[in-house]
Structure 1
Amino acid sequence: MGDQSLFAELGELESPLVRLCIEKATQSGDAVETWRRQRRTLERLPPQLAGSLLHRLHRRRLLYPSLLEVFKYSVERIDLSGENSVDAEWMAYLGAFQYLHSLNISDCHRINSSALWALSGMKYLKEVDISRCSKVDDAGIKHLLSIQTIEVLCISETSVSTAGVTLLSSLKKLSKLDLGGLFITDTALASLQVLKKLRHLDIWGSDISNEGASILVNFPNLTFLNLAWTKVTILPNVSSIACLNMSDCTIQSMFKGEGNKARLSKLLLAGALFKDIANAFLYFDSNSLSFLDLSNSSLHDLSFLSILHALEYLDLSGNLIGDDSVKYIASAGANLKTLNLSNTRVTSAGVAVLVGHVLKLETISLDSTATDDLAISYIGMIPSLKAVSMKRTHVRGVIQQNGGDAECVLSLTALENLKQLEKLNLEETPLKDEAIIPITNLKQLTHLSLRSSFLTDASLHHLSSIPNLINLSIQDAILTNAGIDSFNPPLSLQVLDLSGDWLLTKDALLLFVQRHSDIEVRHAHVTTFQYDNGDTKYHLPLQTSMRTSQQRRFSSSPLKSKMAAIIDQRLKYSRAELLSMQFASMSAAPFGEPPTSPK
């Protein structure tokens, strides 16, 4: 969580003075020691301000167990997820927090059942997340049962057994229960029927059968249900459900039964197998379904989409659909904002079918499809687009006009019609320097990803003129030290990914980093990390901290002067020769001829 979003939580407390105070208070360990003894002042801190101070200390690795004590009367929410140092000692201090409402210690692998004893009897604790704390078992659950205020409990992927799950029936205020990855039987699920306030139930990967699923109708307020990776094939009519996940299930029917139809808004069926997919959509109110994930579901027939008119998000990636299925997508496209057709058989002709039917489309993904530069032309006719991804496609950046002697047209020029385009991904396409020139006219572009062995320093120079660019990735290119040295990045640039640009040397990259310390550079020669000290980023050469003594001895040795005189042997070769050497051992299939534009 960045500083900007962190302080946004302060609401009316946010001010330059507050920012400065927290910055000074967390500047170093010595600064912490200066104020930590002022307990009366700290106890009177507003909860949001105290929470932000605690969070900043954690981010800067200045937080330790005994320091927690000064926050026990002011902090209401604590998130230590993924912190490997958190153990029973930390929990002993956290258990003394008088007004703690929310505690997240998920992925803290030192936490065991005994450590949870410190939480016993807490009066105001409402949310507890111990997901993936594998050392927590039924004994740990017994400690939590004394906290009758718990409303949200997440214990997925712990060592809690079926017997431990049945104990949770005494927590009558539970509204959210995450039991994902636990071995839960139908009997254990039946024991939870007394939890009438339950709204969110996550039991993915459990041993629930169709018989157990029939019990779900006894949860009157259930709005979220995750049954992914279970043996459930028939879901009864739980009419209160708004969000359902049955990914990787074999589905025979959903919501079939008497009573009001469920008004689903979100449905995730990734990797699911269907007995009859058209039948699966008959028994709930499809007029409210806005989110549908059918990725990797081996679908051939999309005719059922014609009844889904409220869709805003549709993921069909990884299915066996082709251009003949796109007409059904178009029929449901009136409100569509996000469409994923990656890894399908859709071609540029299929993209053409969408034009005029998806007037609100903002994001389209065509990764790993047979689309080419003609698809770019059609995409340019969907003016609402903000993000386009065509990774691993046949886009070359040029279209051959009709007639043998006709000049090629730069296909990316069509994207200039997309006045709102912010993100463009053309990785692993055979683009050349001249082909990407039209991209420089995309003034609203903030994220650009390119990966081509045909791009050179000229491309880097072209892209420097994009005024709002925040993240630039130009990988596996033939960039030289001279190119990176002369590169004048846009003022807005925050991340520069040069991974795989094998001609760049460590010295050239570190020189660039020193000049532009506010830019995060990604390359094998540079290790980049962000220390939470304002917006400062530090870049170090790979393995800088290793063998320090040997490096010091080397700096004064005669060998250093000899090595300094060695010239980089790559400079002896032309760019074409370097390319031929790089791919000498690789057998790459030749790309086809540029597509011919339609008459």
Structure 2
Amino acid sequence: MEEGGAEEEGMAGGSDGVGGLVGMCIEAACISGDSVEAWRRQRRTLQMLPAHLAHALFRCLLDRKLIVPSLLEVFQYSVEVVDLKGKSFVDAEWMAYIGAYRSLRVLNLAECKGINNSSLWSITGMTCLRELNLSRCTKISNAGMQHLQYVQDLRKLSLSETAVTAAGITCLSSLVNLTFLDLGGLPITDASLGSLQGLTKLEHLDLWGTEISNKGAANLKGFPSLSFINLAWTKVTVLPCLSSLKCLNLSNCTVDSMFDGYEAKVPLSRLIFAGSMFNNPLENFSCLDTEHLYFLDISCSSFHDFCFLNEMSKLTYLDLSSGNMSDAMIDPVAAIGANLRNLNLGNTRVTTVGVAALAGAVPKLETLSLSRTCIDDAVFYYLGMMPALCMVNLSNTSIKGLIRQGDHVNFSLTALQDLEHLENLDLGCTQIRDLALEPLSNFKQLRCLSLDSDFLSDVSLHSASPVDKLKVLSIRNAVLTDVGILSFVPPPTLHVLDLSGCWLLTEEGISLFCKFHPRITVRHEAIDKLSEEQNNGLKQKAGALCPPTFSARMKHRSKLKEKSQKETWRDERIKYGREELLQLQTSHLSNLSQCDKEILLPKELSTK
């Protein structure tokens, strides 16, 4: 569940955000197996390495698949956080080394399929360990809980979607210092929840998808510090009044009474009712002290009357997506729009008329989603009247980017160029074509642009060149050519270029682009083959470090990934005639200089 256990996410980047000379040193230390061998014997230096640098080095080695169990030993005195989420090769041997980490505070083993009950024996003596994530480790069962009960100083524990049952949960009653517990997706019963009454410090409790009923929910009174409770996908229909509660998730539940026997209004700050059914919505919301409510998610719900929103003037986040909201019911949203910062109207019956009603009523709105709605290009005019917009999602709509007035054609996007804070624009799966993207050169604050259409060509790619602050450019399923990407001048800040589904690009063309622009991460089906070859080269150099079992597993994973890609490859050549295909085939890298002259570049580039 989205509001479930707060898992420690792996940090992106080989040097883990460490820049300057230090970051370059870490990168150099992880170039190959030979470079690792050159410094791994300097144990005294590694023992004195600051925790954040040790973590950056560890992550860089892990991302480049250069770390193996025997190398883990050099980090035992310096690393405080270990994130191994999704690493299927992590097993009992890895855990034997990690168990010796004297300063380890956070250990994330989520989705590590090789972790079993015996693997947890290694952490029983870790006195500094505060956070442990075992979510989706399917081999962890009740026997593993016997080991966990000796880690007395644990503060956060995630066990969602493991093989632990109600009997194993009773072992956790000795972890009296727990403040965070995620038991989502487990067969927890009312009785087993009652056995945890001794966890009086518990503040966050995830019970989504369990067998808890109203009887078990009554036991929640035994947790005096509870501020977050997730009961999504349960049989709970009524809750006891919990004075300390700040966040409640009852998604996909049938709600009879939000709080039973309340004497004073409950000051909740976050409510999530995605996909829930309400027998009496007005009565349920009447028990809330809405002066404190700033977050409301009622997406996929069956509401036909949104008048209750009129009392929620403090809302900053409102999700109405995939519901019954329409132009006729938009007035309550406009009435409370003064503080709204995030509004999701995706997949509703709202049209441009509804957006017009919001214009001028949402002065602080930063994020707006109109994906899968029936808006047209007139919507851009009203979006331009929302001065604080930072992120706009218009994907899967019928917008074209052009408005015809007689013989004159206007660019729809020009209405957004005065939005000083607009950083993220999603135009994926629309009817936008090359010509409509010409105004992009005036979007000086844009950081992320998403396009997805087979109507787009090299011209659209070049339209992004003048966007000086662009960091992420996604132009998927377009008719791009090798000539187009090799003549493309990326913005100086571009870090990610997603070309997925651009079937006309070749491995040779993408390889040359990567060579010319090494700091840009390119995403395309052909890039996986290049990455595999590079990784094989690194593995050969680091052969002494890699045990046979590990190499075999990685090779098996690569084969499965390649097989999956072949099965999902979409041959878009069927959209072209024979003569058109022959003409495209003549555009080869050897004819770059000639073909480049035929590309219709935007006027901003053609003048350079």
Where on the TM-score scale, by shorter chain, does this alignment land: which range? 0.7 to 0.9
Contact 1:239 1:255 in 2 (8 A): no
Tell me the alpha carbon deviations over residues 278-302 of structure 1, each in whole angstroms, 9 at most, x when there is no partner.
2221212211111111111122211
Alignment of 1:152-191 (within 5 A): 152-191=156-195
Could you tell me which of 392, 396, 420 is aligned with 2:396?
392
TM-superposed CA distance for 1:169, in Å, is 0.9
Alignment partner, residue 364 of structure 1: 368
Contact 2:15 2:59 in 1 (8 A): no
Could you tell me which of 39, 45, 50 is aligned with 1:46?
50
TM-superposed CA distance for 1:70, in Å, is 2.7
Contact 1:237 1:261 in 2 (8 A): no
Alignment partner, residue 431 of structure 1: 432
Contact 2:15 2:26 in 1 (8 A): no
Contact 1:43 1:74 in 2 (8 A): yes
User: What is the identity percentage for the equivalent residue pairs of Structure 1 and Structure 2?
Assistant: 50
Contact 1:521 1:528 in 2 (8 A): no
TM-superposed CA distance for 1:67, in Å, is 2.3
Contact 1:131 1:154 in 2 (8 A): yes
Alignment partner, residue 591 of structure 1: none
Contact 1:240 1:262 in 2 (8 A): no
Contact 1:430 1:452 in 2 (8 A): yes
Q: What's the secondary structure of 2:528's corresponding residue?
A: strand
Contact 1:247 1:271 in 2 (8 A): yes
Contact 2:442 2:467 in 1 (8 A): yes
Contact 1:239 1:260 in 2 (8 A): no
Inter-CA distance 49–458: structure 2 relative to 1 (3 Å threshold): closer
Alignment partner, residue 286 of structure 1: 290
Alignment of 1:270-281 (within 5 A): 270-281=274-285
Matched, 1:331 2:335: yes
Whole-angstrom CA distance in 2 between matches of 1:53 and 1:501: 35
Inter-CA distance 23–251: structure 2 relative to 1 (3 Å threshold): same
Whole-angstrom CA distance in 2 between matches of 1:113 and 1:474: 45
Alignment partner, residue 477 of structure 1: 478
Whole-angstrom CA distance in 2 between matches of 1:430 and 1:55: 41
Whole-angstrom CA distance in 2 between matches of 1:366 and 1:496: 24
TM-superposed CA distance for 1:72, in Å, is 2.3
Contact 1:138 1:159 in 2 (8 A): yes
Contact 1:365 1:388 in 2 (8 A): yes
Could you tell me which of 194, 211, 214 is aligned with 2:215?
211
Q: State which drifts further: 160-169 or 38-47.
A: 38-47
Q: State which drifts further: 117-126 or 337-346.
A: 117-126
Give the aligned residue type for 2:191.
T
Inter-CA distance 5–179: structure 2 relative to 1 (3 Å threshold): farther
Alignment partner, residue 246 of structure 1: 250
Q: What's the secondary structure of 2:195's corresponding residue?
A: helix
Matched, 1:319 2:323: yes
TM-superposed CA distance for 1:505, in Å, is 4.1
Q: What's the secondary structure of 1:192's corresponding residue?
A: coil
Q: What's the secondary structure of 1:527's corresponding residue?
A: helix
Whole-angstrom CA distance in 1 between matches of 2:346 and 2:529: 31
Q: Which runs of 5+ in 1 are unaligned?
A: 9-14, 534-544, 547-567, 576-599
Contact 1:298 1:318 in 2 (8 A): no
Inter-CA distance 238–37: structure 2 relative to 1 (3 Å threshold): same
TM-superposed CA distance for 1:47, in Å, is 3.1
Alignment of 1:10-159 (within 5 A): 16-159=20-163
Q: State which drifts further: 38-47 or 214-223.
A: 38-47
CA RMSD of aligned residues (A): 2.5
Inter-CA distance 574–517: structure 2 relative to 1 (3 Å threshold): closer
Q: What's the secondary structure of 1:216's corresponding residue?
A: helix
Inter-CA distance 369–279: structure 2 relative to 1 (3 Å threshold): same
Whole-angstrom CA distance in 2 between matches of 1:482 and 1:24: 33
TM-superposed CA distance for 1:499, in Å, is 3.2
TM-superposed CA distance for 1:220, in Å, is 0.7
Contact 1:309 1:333 in 2 (8 A): yes
Whole-angstrom CA distance in 1 between matches of 2:14 and 2:79: 20
Whole-angstrom CA distance in 2 between matches of 1:406 and 1:26: 61
Give the aligned residue type for 1:6.
D
Inter-CA distance 525–58: structure 2 relative to 1 (3 Å threshold): closer
Alignment partner, residue 385 of structure 2: 381
Inter-CA distance 260–26: structure 2 relative to 1 (3 Å threshold): farther
Could you tell me which of 16, 34, 37 is aligned with 1:6?
16
Give the aligned residue type for 1:273.
M
Whole-angstrom CA distance in 2 between matches of 1:379 and 1:370: 15
Whole-angstrom CA distance in 2 between matches of 1:456 and 1:39: 54
TM-superposed CA distance for 1:132, in Å, is 1.1
Contact 2:14 2:27 in 1 (8 A): no
Contact 2:274 2:297 in 1 (8 A): yes
Whole-angstrom CA distance in 1 between matches of 2:510 and 2:329: 48
TM-superposed CA distance for 1:5, in Å, is 7.8
Contact 1:364 1:388 in 2 (8 A): yes
TM-superposed CA distance for 1:454, in Å, is 3.1
Alignment partner, residue 539 of structure 1: none
TM-score normalized by the length of structure 2? 0.82
Contact 1:294 1:315 in 2 (8 A): yes
Inter-CA distance 17–215: structure 2 relative to 1 (3 Å threshold): same
Inter-CA distance 498–40: structure 2 relative to 1 (3 Å threshold): closer
TM-superposed CA distance for 1:126, in Å, is 1.9
Inter-CA distance 224–511: structure 2 relative to 1 (3 Å threshold): same
Matched, 1:449 2:459: no
Whole-angstrom CA distance in 2 between matches of 1:115 and 1:124: 18
Q: Which runs of 5+ in 2 are unaligned?
A: 1-10, 535-557, 560-577, 586-608
Contact 1:430 1:454 in 2 (8 A): yes
Alignment partner, residue 351 of structure 1: 355
| Structure (1 or 2) with the larger CA radius of gyration | 1
Alignment partner, residue 440 of structure 1: 441
Give the aligned residue type for 2:399.
V
Alignment partner, residue 501 of structure 1: 502
Tell me the alpha carbon deviations over residues 159-181 of structure 1, each in whole angstroms, 9 at most, x when there is no partner.
11111111211111111111111
Alignment partner, residue 415 of structure 1: 416
Contact 2:392 2:424 in 1 (8 A): yes
TM-superposed CA distance for 1:21, in Å, is 4.2
Tell me the alpha carbon deviations over residues 134-168 of structure 1, each in whole angstroms, 9 at most, x when there is no partner.
11111110111112112211111111111111121
Contact 2:298 2:320 in 1 (8 A): yes
Whole-angstrom CA distance in 2 between matches of 1:482 and 1:25: 36
Whole-angstrom CA distance in 1 between matches of 2:82 and 2:66: 15
TM-superposed CA distance for 1:308, in Å, is 0.8
Matched, 1:194 2:204: no
Q: State which drifts further: 95-104 or 163-172.
A: 95-104
TM-superposed CA distance for 1:4, in Å, is 8.4
Contact 2:14 2:56 in 1 (8 A): no
Inter-CA distance 572–171: structure 2 relative to 1 (3 Å threshold): closer
Matched, 1:233 2:234: no
Inter-CA distance 471–206: structure 2 relative to 1 (3 Å threshold): same
Inter-CA distance 569–516: structure 2 relative to 1 (3 Å threshold): farther
Tell me the alpha carbon deviations over residues 101-151 of structure 1, each in whole angstroms, 9 at most, x when there is no partner.
222212111111111112223322222211111111111101111121122
Give the aligned residue type for 1:446.
R
Q: What's the secondary structure of 1:382's corresponding residue?
A: coil
Q: What's the secondary structure of 1:417's corresponding residue?
A: coil
Q: State which drifts further: 173-182 or 510-519.
A: 510-519
Whole-angstrom CA distance in 2 between matches of 1:469 and 1:421: 11
Alignment partner, residue 601 of structure 2: none
